[in-house]
A = this chain, B = another copy of it.
Amino acid sequence: MMVPQRKTSGQSASRHRDGRHSYAEHQPMQKRRGQEMRHSIKRPHDNKLRFIALGGLGEIGRNMMLLEYQDDIIIIDMGLQFPGEETPGIDYIIPNISYLKDKTKNIRGVLITHGHYDHIGAIPQLIGKLGNPTIYATPLTAAIIKKRQIDFPHASKLNIEHINETTVTKLGVFSVRYFPVMHNIPEGIGMEIETPIGIIVHPGEFKFYYDRNNNPVGLEAFKELGKKKPLLLMLDSTKSEEPGRSMPEWQVEENIEELLRNAKGRVIVSTFASLLDRLTQIIHIADKLERRVAITGRSMEANFAIAKELGLVKIKKETIIPIKEIGKYKDEKILIITTGAQGEENAGLTRMAAGTHRDVHVRKNDTVIFSSSIVPGNEMAVQVLRDNLSRQGATVYHYKILGIHSGGHATRTELKEAINIIKPKFFLPIHGFYYMRQVNAKLAEEEGGIPAHNIVVGENGQVIEITPESIQLTKEFVPTSHVMVDGLGVGDVGEVVLRDRQALSADGIFVIIAVVDSQTGKVRGSPDIISRGFIYLRESRELLYHARQLTKKIIEDATQNMHPVNWTWVKDNVRDRLGKFLFQKTERRPMVLPVVIEV
């Protein structure tokens, strides 16, 4: 964990204090002013610290939390969430910042824990709308943020200040110190936030580093914090259900080294480009074993370039070779690093398996290593990829059959130890689904000795009020509905569009177009049918014939007997009866859309 020495000053000089906040705004202006005068220095919410998560609770990703004390707000992380089955076609989801709309001048800064997209990915869309506050990040995290910003040419220019373990960032009433933690990307940080009500500890996302005897090392920062009697500990819950300790990285390293040493041919390693720790670890092992390393895949190459530039890679000059030159060396001297461990359609490994990669075709004697866990939802794609690799004759290893990957989140034993070393008065489980956080809460109560009334499990948007004496869930909720990014649209895809996409994917669409002669009330010719995803039209002539007849009949019955014709009623009637007819014949429910054109 290398954090350069540079001190940063905060932005307290530019603060405005006009006492505006969401609760007070509902009161008549005069009364509010009067109140302020009566309480002189006292601000609304008195001396309570408000914690609000705009994302990251009840979900994985979209991490963005606020601390608000009177007129000072600091933001921790600004991440995106990757889409799931219930959000088809969406690129990603970002936090809802409605609550901050009228409070941008209160924002003193944005603190970033580490460089993963679920912690930085919403910056391009949001930072401008928040008045472009200063972002505080370590050099590597800052480099990743800046690199991503390039993909958004119209986004705001960023104000980033580097931080390190000696920095003290003064942000209004808050004062923040940082300590390095081990995650699976370098330069992860934890934070000690001094507030008017006490010290808040947020260790970010972390796991323990173990020595060869599997004793955790480097816990000095936690111990120092413990001595300061912190008021509140916020703790990652992602792995609160996972018993025991993380597999130590030295063990992963040894296993990978042994695999590389024994592999008779080329070795192809696939991992997340964002797992920079794993990436550099593998390159160092290859360097030691004198395998040449070829890196392929845009994100992998870009992240390697960043890591190299920041001095995180220390290898022989000749180790890295262009992918085009792998043929110049013996197979057993080659290591290829590529993307695609999740079975992504166009990623390197997928194309190598399919024989469509420009430079590498997987063949007999190749060893393929998947050194990453599988993101839920990708299981089938990964299975198909493993199958295709095996069929080409490659030997495939993955983390479940061999210890060649270890996650980045503290497991139960580690969480328990962190709680017992830091010994906070209050405990607030963060990051992850409600259940995971409840399990974390129970751990803090049962194994950390924190009384139940000093622990809260909140929801996204729920205001949590903290004083030196108590921590409480309030009934105040700020908006946190999903803001979806789909192509160029931010927030324009909502529930209706998503529901339609789901319906379309289940049973398709059936559009029937009838041209009605306004003179005679007769349907001209036969109605047109456009259908996709419902049935194979060419093999359903009879069904289509009856659908046309039914539509024609409904329309002509109406034009004969109804004066004037209520076309909305007619169309609803076609939709209902045609829908029922199609269901009766097929037991499928396509979306039925009737179009009537009067000529």
Interface residues of A (CB under 8 A from B): 58, 84-86, 88-89, 241, 243, 376-377, 379-380, 383, 386-387, 389-391, 396, 400-401, 433-435, 438-439, 486-489, 492-494, 496-498, 500-509, 511, 513, 515, 524, 528, 530, 532-536, 539-540, 583, 585-588, 591, 593, 595, 597, 599
Contacts and interface: CB of A to CB of B under 8 A. Distances in A.
Given A88-B506, A497-B535, A511-B593, 14 more contacts: A84-B380, A89-B506, A241-B400, A383-B435, A387-B434, A487-B587, A488-B586, A501-B508, A504-B508, A504-B532, A504-B533, A509-B509, A513-B513, A515-B599
B509 A597 contact: no
Residue of A84, A435, A528, A587 most packed against chain B (CB within 10 A): A435
B493 A535 contact: yes
10 smallest A-B Cβ distances: which pairs? A487-B587, A505-B505, A504-B504, A387-B434, A501-B533, A500-B533, A89-B506, A386-B435, A376-B379, A88-B505
A435 B390 contact: yes
Contact of A536 (B488, B492, B539, B540): B492
B89 A530 contact: no
Nearest to A85: B380
Copies of this chain held together in the complex: 2
B508 A505 contact: no
Contact of A530 (B389, B536, B540, B595): B595
A85 to B, nearest CB: 6
A487 B532 CA distance: 16
Contacts of A396: 435
Contacts of A86: 380
B511 A506 contact: no
A165 to B, nearest CB: 35
Contacts of A508: 89, 497, 500-501, 504
A386 B508 CA distance: 31
B505 A501 contact: yes
Contacts of A528: 595, 597
Contacts of A530: 511, 593, 595
A509 B532 contact: yes
A8 to B, nearest CB: 37
Given A506-B89, A508-B89, A586-B489, A536 B496 contact: yes
Nearest to A589: B487
Contacts of A536: 492-494, 496-497
A593 B504 CA distance: 15
18 contacts: A85-B380, A241-B401, A377-B379, A387-B434, A486-B586, A486-B587, A487-B586, A489-B588, A492-B540, A496-B536, A501-B505, A505-B505, A511-B511, A511-B593, A515-B597, A515-B599, A532-B591, A599-B599
Contacts of A502: 505
A509 B509 CA distance: 9
Contacts of A488: 585-587
Contacts of A400: 241
Contacts of A511: 511, 530, 593
A72 to B, nearest CB: 32
Contacts of A583: 487
A401 B241 CA distance: 6
A539 to B, nearest CB: 6
A411 to B, nearest CB: 12
Nearest to A507: B89
Contact of A533 (B379, B497, B540): B497
B380 A376 contact: yes
A380 B83 CA distance: 12
A46 to B, nearest CB: 29
A595 B513 contact: yes
Contacts of A505: 88-89, 501-502, 504-505
Contacts of A587: 486-489
Contacts of A535: 489, 492-493, 497
A597 B390 CA distance: 53
B241 A89 contact: no
